Amino acid sequence: MTEPFPTVGVIARNSDAATIATRDRVIADLVARGRRVCLDARQPSGNLDNTFSSEPAELAQKSDLVLVLGGDGTLLEASRWLAPADTPVLGINLGRLGFTVDVAPFEVADALDAVFSGRFMRDARTLLQATVVRAENNHDLGEPDEQLIAVNECVVRNRAVARVMDFDTWMDGTFISQHRADGIVIATPTGSTAHALSAGGPVIHPDLGALAMVPICPHTLSDRPIILDANRTVEIVIGGDRRDDALFTRDGEIGADLAPGDRLIIQRAACSLTLIHADGYDYFSILRNKLHWGRGQDTTG
Task: Write out the catalytic residue numbers.
Answer: 72
What letters, b where the CB count within 10 A reaches 16 and e where it falls short, cover 193-216?
bbbbbebebeebebeeebbbbbbb
The rounded distance, in Å, linking the Cα atoms of 13 and 20 is 10
The rounded distance, in Å, linking the Cα atoms of 65 and 37 is 10
Using an 8 Å Cβ cutoff, are 197 and 189 in contact? no
Residue type for 143, please? E
Using an 8 Å Cβ cutoff, are 8 and 67 in contact? yes
Using an 8 Å Cβ cutoff, are 206 and 125 in contact? yes
The rounded distance, in Å, linking the Cα atoms of 4 and 31 is 14
What letters, b where the CB count within 10 A reaches 16 and e where it falls short, cover 247-277?
bbbbbeeebbbbbbbbbbbbbbbebbbbbbb
| 87 Cβ contact partners less than 8 Å away, ≥ 6 residues apart | 9, 60, 61, 63, 64, 65, 66, 274
